[in-house]
Structure 1
Amino acid sequence: MTALIWLIAGVALAAAEALTGDFVLLMLGGAALATAGVSAATDLPVWADAVVFALASLVLMLGVRPALRRRYSGPPALPMGVEALPGKQALVLEEVHAQAGRVKIGGEVWTARPLDETEKYEAGSTVTVMQIDGATAVVWRGP
């Protein structure tokens, strides 16, 4: 009977975690589920179940929760500004060669040079931005 109570408590705590997102209730729910397993497998008194719950909670809170918080709590690192440009397509506005050239990347006009200095890209062609070198886009037409 106590195993069923621990099982219900574990599921309820894990479900309540969706409201907080802090991983505390999830760890307590995991501890309650572990206690339900121990209670179902053995015939320990209620105070022993409480000790099992306390130990499992401690292990999960100190061992698992910090790793989960590091992994999931921070926002994903999205490239912004100039860091987001490599990999984007660009339209060649003026012929791009080793000394000069202009491309349009997402509505902005940039000076450009080819990745391979021996290549030239004609106006109207599409190239890929490989990197940004200062205020110059280094572009490549690709295979």
Structure 2
Amino acid sequence: MAWGIWAIILVVLLILEMLTVDFTFTMVAGGALVAAISSALGANLVVQVIAFVIVSALLLVVVRPWMRKHINNSSHGESNVYALTGQYATAITALDESSGQVKIGGDTWSAVSVAGPIKAGEKVVITAVQGAHVVVAPA
């Protein structure tokens, strides 16, 4: 019946992983899975705990870094509005150092120019995002 306890631990760890999405609890859940299987195969408690510790440690050291690098990787590059940097837009009003608007994809953004006045209709490149404004330069 010890396999049932390991199964409960496994489910709790997977629920915790859904809340954190850090892959730590998933790796420890892998250790709990191996311990549950060893229990179902008749191994004693010492073997189950050793299997749990070894598998969890191996998964944390070997698999977790790879998963963090390839899955759900928010540590590299920009995301959200900061991903706009480097993209091209079209000036829909005249731009200067204090005001203007640009069209980025289908969205209209308030913009300021870092390179002097820019006429409406000209292509610009986004150099930065400052709050609700984008900073642009001629393309």
The answer to whether TM tops 0.5 is yes
Q: Which runs of 4+ in 1 moved over 6 A?
A: none
Aligned equivalents of 1:7, 1:26: Cα separation in 2: 13
Q: 1:38 to 1:87 in 2, by over 3 A?
A: farther
SS at match of 1:89: strand
Matched, 1:50 2:45: no
- Extract unaligned runs of 5+ from structure 1: 95-102, 113-122, 139-143
Which residue in 1 is equivalent to 2:124? 129
Normalising by structure 2, we get a TM-score of 0.59
Cα distance per residue 1:42-99 (max 9 Å; x no partner): 2111111111111111111111222344454637613649x625232322649xxxxx
Aligned equivalents of 1:108, 1:73: Cα separation in 2: 28
Which residue in 2 is equivalent to 1:91? 92
Q: 1:23 to 1:48 in 2, by over 3 A?
A: same
Equivalent residues of 1:85, 1:129 under 8 A apart = no
Give aligned-pair identity as a percent: 24
In the alignment of these two chains, the number of paired residues is 115
Which residue in 2 is equivalent to 1:115? none
Normalising by structure 1, we get a TM-score of 0.57
RMSD: 3.6
Q: CA deviation at 1:108?
A: 2.7
Q: CA deviation at 1:7?
A: 0.7
Equivalent residues of 1:2, 1:36 under 8 A apart = yes
Question: Bigger radius of gyration, 1 or 2?
Answer: 1
